[in-house]
Structure 1
């Protein structure tokens, strides 16, 4: 391959190509001699497990690659290879092994390597069916790992049991800055764990808990008339109330994403979070989910006032903004993202 002779290339993206096993072997041979490549993306290349073995073994001695993406490559039986790689590699900072059907047993194996790894700062393991057993293994590894800054375990069939295990670590974890556990099966009981993390953790800057389920009991929650235009106060689940109350005292989070989670009717929860922003002096991005009609029930001046006070409120709407004249005014001052369903 020409890559063997190249001495200047620093980034190579050959994703979405049918490299298969033979192509993976060619790449692995290049990695043993190529010392300038920093980023390699071979996602969705059908390298399968044998190809992954070749790639990760070549990375044992590679000292240049800092970013490696191998998502969606059918690596379900490559866990031992990835574990051994994590134990010895000294240069990789970012690893994406999402969508490889690694499962809980594979996760338990891989995470053993994370315990002793001293360089990896970003790990993506979404869509791998790791479930609660995998989440518990990750929780244990976080007790040992002191360098990981960003962790994504979204879409992994994790329930309240799994998030409780991780939450016990994250309450006092001094290292992790960004955590994504969205698109799982976490209910109102898990929401209470999130509230404890928000209240107790002093370093976490970004938390994504969107698209989780709800089974909680609802109670009234008082929201100020700064943001509400109805005589009827909203009703929140116990977990949601605890999250809102935790946001009143949190001093580290910069970004919180809570789209379509816990309540089937999201307006009350979002309304309470907006009201909490009057008291929170740290958060700079709050991403919510609102129906078009919900915007009419919130006081426009109050939201714009929050924005003027250094807040950036992201409103993820269920419908196209372009077709809603009353929303077009908001786009002048607030970052509104389209969200189509």
Structure 2
């Protein structure tokens, strides 16, 4: 109640409701906050409806779309469709079109090496991937965890993808698990390279699940950090795999006991014809396991055990296996401390009538 010129009247200016209206006054927005609101409007297609950041509307947590593909679809032919989707994605994300990627998207086989992708660049690129893409090489492009999530969403559309190379990109445990789960959706995938991706022994079951894939015929896992656990899981997967032909595990941390677990899978596997375990440390125990593989396995054609610390005693064991093997065609024993006696034992073993060896490498320089 107010009094003016000895007259009383009520203007409601002192009511509680008035105080509440003052409390609800929106604060002034900084430039960054305005930019955030603008991008949110564009990504969520709410043009003109949201003109201040979500946190000032209510206390409710609002879902953002930073980890999903841009919701664009195109009915134009496939090759032009990828380009059209990429252009629209770049426009919606307020980023410049990369004309190198723009030209590559017209092809079914895409290869990108040694360059960096920002998060929005990989988002636009992954959105543009169409189902008729046949091969994708993204080597050494500094993929991060959020980029892997986006890329995996795009890969699930690539039902005709035959080759995938993500080598030289560091993968965390979560990213590797997500990638392995995504690969299971790629039913046409035959060739996979995850070389030099920092995959550690502690990544566990996902390593074994990758080697159980029902369609892959060639896997390159060289240059990672596999030790005992990884070899146990891979060895177990090889006992079940009926598709894999070529496996590359070179330049890992595989030592004698780890190789024993790995070679046990070869005693049962009937499809693997090429195996590379170079730059490992087989030692005496690993050579004992390899001797049994050479005797039992009648499907392996090419074996690379260069730089594996195979000395004279180990060479003697391997020669005993070679003496009873009739299917191995090529063996690489280069850069090992074989000694003259070790070489002599192996050469004698290869002289038997049933030997199929056509290439034998013992070079040292």
Residues 199-229 of structure 1: CA deviation (Å, up to 9, x unaligned): 1101111111111125x6xxxxxxxxxxxxx
**Corresponding pairs, count:** 265
The verdict on how the C-alpha distance between 1:20 and 1:180 changes in structure 2, with shifts beyond 3 A counting, is: farther
Residue 285, structure 1, aligned to residue 356, structure 2: no
The aligned counterpart of 2:282 is: 186
Cα distance change of structure 1 residues 44 and 2 upon mapping to structure 2, 3 Å threshold = farther
CA distance in 2, matches of 1:21, 1:270: 54
Give the equivalent residue in structure 1 for 2:309.
213
2:243 to 135, 140, 147: 147
TM-score for the superposition, normalised by structure 1: 0.72
Partners of 2:105 and 2:145 lie apart in 1 by 29
- Return the alpha-carbon distance in structure 2 between the equivalents of residues 89 and 180 of structure 1: 25
Give me the whole-angstrom Cα distance separating, in 1, the residues matched to 2:217 and 2:232. Answer: 20
Alpha-carbon offset, residue 158 of structure 1: 1.1
Preserved contact between residue 180 and residue 207 of structure 1 (Cα < 8 Å): yes
In 1, Cα distance between equivalents of 2:250 and 2:204? 14
For residues 20 and 251 of structure 1, do their structure 2 counterparts lie closer, same or farther at Cα, with a shift above 3 Å needed?
farther
| d(CA) in 2 for partners of 1:114, 1:285 | 28
Match for residue 18 of structure 1 among 116, 140, 146: 116
Match for residue 175 of structure 1?
271
Shift of 1:7: 8.3
**Aligned-residue offset at 1:102:** 1.1
Extract unaligned runs of 5+ from structure 1: 217-235, 291-317, 319-341
Structure 2 runs not aligned, ≥5 long: 1-78, 84-103
Using CA pairs under 8 Å that are at least 6 residues apart, name the structure with larger relative contact order, 1 or 2: 1
Select which of 212, 224, 228 maps to 1:132. Answer: 228
Larger radius of gyration: 2
Residue equivalent to 2:82:
4
Instruction: Give the equivalent residue in structure 1 for 2:323.
Output: 248
**In the alignment, does 2:348 pair up with 1:270?**
no
Distance 2:153 2:237 in 1: 23
**Cα separation, partners in 2 of 1:46 and 1:282, compared to 1, 3 Å:** same
Question: What residue in structure 1 maps to residue 63 of structure 2?
Answer: none
2:189 to 71, 76, 92: 92
Aligned in 2, Cα 1:130/1:255: closer, same or farther, shift over 3 Å?
A: same
Task: Give the Cα separation in 2 of the matches to 1:165 and 1:155.
Answer: 17
Map 1:21-100 onto structure 2 (within 5 A). 21-31=119-129, 33-35=130-132, 37-77=133-173, 78-100=175-197
CA distance in 2, matches of 1:10, 1:195: 44
Contact 2:180 2:206 (C-alpha < 8 Å) held by counterparts? yes
Q: Provide the rounded CA distance (Å) in 1 between the counterparts of 2:113 and 2:204.
A: 24
Query: Distance between the aligned counterparts of 1:165 and 1:124, measured in 2?
Result: 19
Q: Determine the C-alpha separation between the residues in 2 that align with 1:286 and 1:8.
A: 44
Q: Give distance in 2, aligned partners of 1:204 and 1:148.
A: 12
